[in-house]
Structure 1
Amino acid sequence: MMQGGGKYTTIDSQQLQGSVPAVPDPPPVTVKFTDSNLQTFPPSQAQGKITGGSRPPRDADDSFSKPASGSSDEPQQGGWLRNFAIATYKPYFDVDTSDVLERIIDSLFPFRGTFNEKTSTNPDLYGPFWICTTLIFVAASMGTFVTYVAHKLKDQKWDYDINLVTWSAGLFYGYVTIIPLCLYVILKYFSVPAGLVQLFCLYGYSLFVFIPALCLSIVPLDIFRWVIAGVAGFMSATFVALNLRAHIKSAGERWFFIVAGIFLLQLALAVVLKIYLFTVSV
């Protein structure tokens, strides 16, 4: 306040209107973090031999089994477009030498009837493809060699027949593709659980027995060739029929006719091979 003489005295701050009281600084805020209870999951079981999630699942009721979910190679396309992606078929080639050899040995012991059980979770197309390719090469090479020797012994001109290769390729590739497709449709009609890839695998390995049979056809005895063709055809037909019998029994009373048709069709293949491939003259 101003007193006489023009001097100012102290101002009582509490008597001033509109004054703002001083705001003290807030206390520091302490942030506490609680320990998180994260559940630790065990790693998924390794499947396949190429990637952890690349083993195909059970192929019981699907035309083409899908790769396991979570696989890094799973195709991004949906629907039918995934059938044109390489990653869709990669799991069916995920086998090593020991797997292929084990399945080939099983095909040479047809009365076991355990091939489908062993390959139900991981049917492959690698073995069937190379078995058919080897059959084509053996059939063409054996036929060519025998006819070459026959012409040389008779001092005749020899010409290579390329039709032997194309005919063999059409026979083996066509048989191992068309027959499983037709059988798959028939089994689906009778509501029998069957997988198309599993049928490809079974029929592909069933043809392996014809490889040594073709090699033995070089013996210039027609009766011996008939015996070899008959034994090979019986083993192949028994291998396919016995492995499919347990699944086809669910079709009811008609299962016997289906199995009998499968057996006879495989024997017919052996007869065709004898007539067109095993019949060579020296």
Structure 2
Amino acid sequence: MASADDPFHFKEFEEAGNLLEANRDATTISIEDDDVKPEKQKKAEGLIPGGGGGDDEDPLGYEDKSELLSGQKKSVPFWSFEYYQQFFDVETHHVKERIIGSMLPWPGKNFIQFYLRRNPDLYGPFWICTTLVFAVAISGNLSNVLVTFGHTNFKYSPEFRQVTIAATAIFSYAWLVPLALWGFLLWRSNKIMNLVSYSFMEILCVYGYSLSIWIPTVILWNFPFEWMRWSSIVVALCLSGSVLLRTFWPAVRDDHPKVIIAVMSAILVLNVLFAVGCKVYFFSKPQLQNNSTAATGMPKT
């Protein structure tokens, strides 16, 4: 027990205790030191960096947080890498839904309004076109092998140039046709104010996803049956054509009837030419040489 002369015995606390016992209604004031305040409270009061008073040290972070909370994005020029980076930021389930929606069109569902929701992407169209390029090239070579299987006077040689030709044809259709259609619809929307307008990325996204039906169709062309090939072409044309027509119908329905017929016909004709052109060029039956030509190199007289 501490003695009365102990210098470490704080008598003032005893006196304060006696005063509190004498008057229990008295009000006490607590003085806290800044060093013992909780860390969260310091951040809230701006006493340490990282709290509310740290905005001056990180003004860029504050601006990014403000833009994120307000839902606004910085506008970047279209020739910059950041502009196209946003079109590859898409979830896997969104790509899956758009592929299924392009293969199985439902009545009354516009592809842009229902699936894109003003958020087009280039990830799906790019990989769909790339997959279709290799599917056409590989299936075209494989179909030649199956058709000529068992013929002794046919020597198979892989045609790697079909990859280049397929890539040129598919990417030209997936990019140039949307570009021409976007330019025409933009011109018409400037003349007629009540027309529905689509951006170039939305039209490009629609055409890219509409090619997904051709991947399983091309695989079916490996079977050497012409009736199966042409039947699959008709089915794929109906599915992809219905997606395109339903999508672009709101953009031209209030236009002149002649313009409506011209635009809808052009969409269908180009789709048919693309499908038939791939079938005829890559899956045509190879010509077989006769025995005399294969042996001597001279045609038989």
Query: Same fold judged by TM-score > 0.5?
Result: yes
Q: Is the contact made by 1:225 and 1:278 (CA closer than 8 Å) also made in structure 2? A: no
Correspondence for 1:204: 208
Q: Deviation digits for residues 223-268 of structure 1, max 9, x if unmatched?
A: 2211111211221111101111012213243323312321222122
**Are the aligned partners of 1:229 and 1:273 in contact in 2 as well (CA < 8 Å)?**
no
- 8 Å contact kept, 2:143–2:221: no
CA distance in 2, matches of 1:52, 1:208: 40
Q: Give the aligned CA root-mean-square deviation in angstroms.
A: 2.7
SS in structure 2 opposite 1:83? coil
Corresponding residue for residue 128 of structure 2? 131
CA distance in 2, matches of 1:125, 1:135: 15
Q: Percent identity?
A: 29
How many Å separate the matches in 2 of 1:223 and 1:150?
A: 14
Residue 187 (structure 1) shift = 0.7
**1:144 Cα deviation after fit:** 1.7
Q: Does 1:87 align with 2:82?
A: yes
Does residue 105 in structure 1 map to residue 100 in structure 2? yes
Alignment equivalent of 2:151, drawn from 151, 154, 170: 154
Q: C-alpha offsets along residues 104-129 of structure 1, whole Å, 9 cap, x if unaligned?
A: 01011234332110313201111110
Q: For 1:133-282, what aligned pairs fall within 5 Å after superposition?
A: 133-150=130-147, 153-155=150-152, 156-191=154-189, 192=195, 193-253=197-257, 254-280=259-285
Question: Per the alignment, do residues 52 and 248 of structure 1 end up closer, same or farther by CA in structure 2, a change over 3 Å counting?
Answer: farther
Mapped to 2, the partners of 1:52 and 1:207 lie a distance apart of 40
Structure 1 distance, partners of 2:268, 2:149, is 41
Give yes or no for contact 1:237–1:264 (8 Å, CA) kept in 2.
no
Other structure's SS at 1:167 match: helix
Q: Which moved more, 1:192-201 or 1:174-183?
A: 192-201
Instruction: Give the whole-Å Cα distance in 2 for the aligned partners of 1:87 and 1:267.
Output: 36
Bigger drift between 157-166 and 94-103 goes to: 157-166
- Residue 139 of structure 1 deviates from its aligned partner by 0.7
Name the TM-score, length of structure 2 as normaliser. Answer: 0.64
Please name the residue that 1:116 is paired with. 112
Please tell me the residue identity of whatever aligns with 2:160.
I
Instruction: Kindly state the Cα deviation for residue 280 of structure 1 after the two structures are TM-superposed.
Output: 4.4
The structure whose residues are more often helix, as a share, is: 2
Equivalent residues in 2 for 1:19-98, closer than 5 Å: 68-70=72-74, 75=76, 82-98=77-93
Deviation at 1:90, TM superposition (A): 1.0
Residue 131 of structure 1 aligns with an amino acid whose one-letter code is I
Mapped contact 1:95–1:126 kept (Cα < 8 A): yes
Looking at structure 1, the residues matched to 66 and 124 of structure 2 have their Cα atoms a distance apart, in angstroms, of 21
State the AA in 2 paired with 1:84: W
Letter in 2 for 1:194: Y
Q: Distance in 2 between matches of 1:151 and 1:109?
A: 35
Q: What is the count of residue pairs matched by the alignment?
A: 213
Distance 2:86 2:102 in 1: 22
Unpaired stretches in structure 2, ≥5 consecutive residues:
1-44, 46-51, 53-64, 190-194, 289-301
Question: Aligned to 1:257, what secondary structure does the other structure show?
Answer: helix
Aligned to 1:13: none
